[in-house]
Each structure stands twice: as C-alpha cells, then as structure tokens.
Amino acid sequence: MRDHDISKLSRRAVLPLLGLAGGALCVRATLAQHGTTEDAEWPKWAPTRAAFYAQIAQWRTTGKDIRQFGAKLDGQADDTVALQQAIDAGVPVLLIPAGTLRLTRAIALTRPIVILGAGDATVLRWEGRQRDPFIAVPADKNPASFLTGVHIDSLRLVRPAPLPSNGTILRGLNVRKVSVTRCSTDRFGALFVGHLRKPVRDARKDIHDLALDAGFSPIGDDLNEDIFAYDNRIDGGAYMSQILRVNYGRRIIAVGNTGRFANISWFGGSAKINLGGAPQYLRRARDIYVTHNKVHGANGGIYGNNGDGILVAHNEVSEMLDVGIDFEGCFNALAHDNIVRNAANYGLATFYAAKNIVFRNNQVYQDGSAAQLPARYGKRYGKSGGRALFALRSAGFRQSPGAIDVSFIGNRFIFGGKTGTGVCLPSYFSRLVLDGNTFENVACDLTCGSTGTLIVTRNKLSFDRAIVAPYRALGDSAVQATFTDNEIRVSAAQDPGAIAIADTAPIAGGHRAEISRNVVIDAGKGAAMPIVLFGTQGHAAVSGNTVGAVYVQTKALGTVSANRTRGGAPIAAVGLPAAFVPATTEPEPAPEQAAADDTP
C-alpha cells in the first residue's frame, strides 16, 4: 500500500462517526469554565454546554424551593420526607438552595423533573443504605417504556464513611433526555444508565441471535437516548466510581468532567464472539462522544463494549489498573489527541472484533510504575506489567476475516522507565496499519500467528538502551506485510540477535512482504542490527534500505537488492548467523487476556 492509500484509510475511519459534524477533523477551541464554545466535532444531535446551561437558567426561573415542602437544609434534620413530598407533588423544577440536605433513603423519580442546586454550596448528604440516592425509572417498569426528561445540576453529593462509596448521584433505567451536570462528589460517582431489558444467555449457539436480543428491536430504536454528563467533578475516594456508565444507549456525551478514582464507559452487549459480539450483531451502544475529560485511578479510563460511532478526543487518562483507552467489540471509532499515562496492562487497546478503529495523534506514556497499581487498588487484571503501549486482543476472532481492522496514525509512544523497553502486543488482525508514529524505547514486534495485512510506514523508533526479548524493533508474521520509509535509531549496544526488522513467513505459505527505503542508524560493526527474513516459503522484496546487514533463512524467500550500509557499501544477503536461528519458524498465537469489562 502506498501513501495515498493511507490517507484514504484515515478519511474512511472518520466518516462513519454518526452525526459528528460530518466527520470534520477536530479544531481545538478554547473552553471557558463550563464550556462557552465547543470543538468543531460537537455532534449535531446534542445541545452545546452553553445552550444547555442557558436552558437550565430558564428552568430555574420557574422552580419551586424545597423549603416550601418543609426542608430544613441544616444538615441535622432528615429532609427525606420533604424531598419526597416535592417529588410526589409533581414539581417540574425543584430548587435546592445553599445548605445541607440530609437524605436517608432513595428517592424514586417516575415523572420528568429538573433538580437544581447552587453549586458546591448545596450539599446533599447521602446516608441511605441503598446504592444511589435518585433512581429514575418509568412508573410501569415496562422494558418497552421510557421516562423522558430528568436533569440534575449544580449539587455537591457527600457520602460519609463508612457507608459504601461506589454509587452514583442518579441511576436511570429506561430513560431518555437525562443529564447530570456541574455536580461534584465526595466518595461517589455521577450517572449510571441501564436498561430493564437484559440479554439472556443461551448455550444453544445456533439460536443465540434471538436469545441474546431478549426482545430488543433489531434496529436499536428501543435504547436509552440523549444521555449527557457535562462538567462534573467526581472523587470516588478510592478505587473506583463512575463519571458516566451507559448500558444499551445511543447519543451519549461526556465532556469537561474530571474524575479521581472514576472513569467513563459504555456497554452495548457482550463482545465475545459466541455471546453477541460477532460482526453481524447490532452494536447497542451508539453515537458516543467523549472529550476534554480527565480521569484517574480506575480499571479502565475510557472504554466500552459493542459500540458504534464513537469519538474519544482531548482526554487525559492516568494510572489505570487495566487499560487507558479501549474499544471492545466496537466499530467505527476514532480516538485522537488524548494523553494516557501509565496503565497496568495497555495504554491503547482493542478487544474482540474491532472494525474501522483509528488511534490518531495520541500520546501514550509508560514507565513500568503501573505494575504496582494492583497492590495499591486491591484488585488485579491480567499480568499488570505496566510496559505495553498498545495491544490488540482478538479473543476468538481468528476465524472471522475482516473483523479486526485497526490503525495507529501519528501517535507518540514513550517508555520512560529507567531500564528495559516498552512493548506493543499483537494478536490476530485482519488489517493493521502503523503510519507516522514515534516510538521512544518501545519495541513494536507484531509477530503473531494467522495475521492478515500489516502496513508499517513512516514510523520513527529510537532506543538508548537494550531492546527486551525477542530483540526486534519491528517484526511481523502477516500474510501480507509492508515496511517502508521507517527509521530505527539505536544508540546503545544490543544483545546478540537483536533485529531491526524481522519478517517471518508463515508455514502455510502465500506470504508476501515489501521491505524498502527503511533506515537503520546503529553503532555498526558487531552491534549492527540487521533486517532478517525467517521461514521457508513466500516472497519478500528487500530493496533500497540503509542497514548493516540482511540475513535470509532460505534464499527462496525473496529478492534482496540495492541495499547499502550507512557508509554507502552495497549489501548482499547472507544466511542466518547462529545468534539469529530461531527455535521455530512458525510464530505462536499471542495469549489472550480478559477485557476491562464484558458485563453490563
């Protein structure tokens, strides 16, 4: 694939993001407090923050003061009865002025209502034993019914110890036009949205379409809709809480939120291949926009299952127990201009099916310190090494052609640990593109059995220490591989067997590779890092590279021409030195790992 094909792929990845300003590239806007302007990508179906807050100001002029129903707001009296009376009276807009409202049992919201506080001056002290203080649900609790129009703005929720801290201000079941905005919390989350209809597992895989849909519409018109979380400040107090979690919903926005021990996620069904994640099934989390959030200290930062039409941009994610930004069984997703710092497993990742997924212009930093997060948080996911900058985990989709199509374009991957290097972990893919990325002390060996098309072009890799085993800066075993115009710069001595580019032809045959115009800048002589062709079948064209040596396991593997050393001397291909002879020429499949979350 040539450069113009890469640009086609980039555009193709943006256009399917439904409603996101026609797929326009993001123009970073200056965001004043509570958002007076938005990015060019702001979805057309959602009110901007400025417009929404203007609507709230209008609602406020018609509100009823909770003190009219007997609330004391002194933090001592139990104001639960007063709040319930206001709700039962059908007040459309309820005002809670400055003071402390003590609430001891959950309040059911079964009709539209707007609850407005006065910012941090309005404290809701939640002392109930239930998980959530407000539960919004249709009065008939019918899975086909929806409650429309529940909004909570400008409250501070405090959850006193030792009461459990993992609830949310509002739990909505079968809701539409629901929001939590400009709220803050102490030991609590913000908004959870679920569905009264849940999938039913059925062991008979031949009928699992019907069983898993469990009555859901085949076109997804019975989902939760228009769910907004704007400008909340969430502090879970300890691992972990949720700024926003939506199960089975569409038109979802999280923007301008900060979360300590909190994250943002969605669920559109199980992503496992035999439980609804196969490509033919509808993704029931749709049209998702997550931007300008800061999240810290959870299992995953921003992630979700079986989503479609997703944009994740300009977020900061740090110290995650599992993943930073992760698309599990998702289609048509773009993550750009995000910063991820230290995830115990993977900075950027896809799990299961991953069609038309693009990671562009992100910065991902690992230094190995995230390996200590399981001890700090008291929970563990996977091996938790804190060294993987990105990963594909295809779990069960090896026999699904076209199911995994992922691109990494213009990202910066940095391993900042004092020793060793970062890694990029492969799995099965139908098509994988790495274009114009920077890797600093990060090895990108994508060798994995049964992989399809790999394109690695215009990337820059640099190392100032020895590359970790298996000592490959770049590597593959794809059916069709392209390595062009990459630069590998090494300023440290390497272990014997270190390789700049390693291409492995699968035993099954049919392998094709182009390795051309790459430049390897290393210490030379005994420390030179070669290009190496492994295998016995297939064809690789190795030409026009600047490199110290080219080794070929079998001459029939390909043609080697016009390669030169940095000094300009021509290079002839030679057989493998002993240090490069592999134990096997067929790469083993990469081990799979549990995803961050595959449950509703």
Model confidence band, residue 599 (pLDDT cutoffs 50, 70, 90): low
* DSSP designation for 165: -
What are 558's strand-pairing partners? 540
Closest-CA residue to 386 (of 401, 375, 378, 399): 375
Q: Tell me if residue 579 falls in helix, strand or coil.
A: helix
pLDDT of 487: 98
418: exposed, middle or buried (Cβ count in 10 Å: 0-12, 13-18, 19+): exposed
Highest mean pLDDT among 447-451, 554-558, 587-591: 447-451
- What global pTM score does this model have? 0.91
Q: Which residue has the tokens 């005002």?
A: 95
For 192-201, 333-342, 436-445, 476-485, which range has the lowest pLDDT when averaged over its residues?
192-201
Count CA atoms closer than 13 A to 3's CA, side-chain side: 6
Q: Which residue has the tokens 């599990």?
A: 328
Residue 166 has pLDDT above 90, yes or no: no
Q: Is 289 left (phi over 0), alpha (psi -120 to 50) or beta?
A: beta
- 347-383: pLDDT as tens digits: 999 999 999 999 999 999 999 999 999 999 999 888 8
> How far apart, in whole angstroms, are the C-alpha atoms of residue 289 and residue 43?
8
pLDDT of 485: 98
pLDDT of 215: 73
> How far apart, in whole angstroms, are the C-alpha atoms of residue 388 and residue 370?
10
Domain extent listing, the chain? 462-471+486-579
Model confidence band, residue 584 (pLDDT cutoffs 50, 70, 90): low
CA angle 31, 32, 33 (to 5 degrees): 120
For 16-20, 227-231, 270-274, 463-467, which range has the lowest pLDDT when averaged over its residues?
16-20
Closest-CA residue to 516 (of 3, 8, 10): 3
* DSSP designation for 369: G
Model confidence band, residue 273 (pLDDT cutoffs 50, 70, 90): confident
Mean pLDDT of the chain: 88
Contact yes or no for 220/18 (Cβ under 8 A): no
Question: Is it true that the peptide bond before 43 is cis, omega within 30 degrees of 0?
Answer: no
For 228-237, 238-247, 448-457, 517-526, which range has the lowest pLDDT when averaged over its residues?
517-526
> How far apart, in whole angstroms, are the C-alpha atoms of residue 527 and residue 496?
8
Q: Is 259 left (phi over 0), alpha (psi -120 to 50) or beta?
A: beta
Q: How many Å is the Cα radius of gyration of the chain?
A: 27
- 510-567: pLDDT as tens digits: 899 999 999 999 876 666 899 999 988 888 999 999 999 999 998 878 899 999 999 9
pLDDT of 461: 98
What are 336's strand-pairing partners? 313, 360
CA dihedral in degrees (154, 160, 161, 163; nearest 10)?
-90
Q: In the chain, what percentage of residues exceed pLDDT 90?
A: 75
For 151-155, 184-188, 281-285, 478-482, which range has the lowest pLDDT when averaged over its residues?
281-285
pLDDT of 519: 98
CA angle 579, 519, 521 (to 5 degrees): 65
Task: Please give the average per-residue pLDDT across 263-272, as a whole number.
Answer: 93
Residue 3 parent element (H or E):
helix 3-14
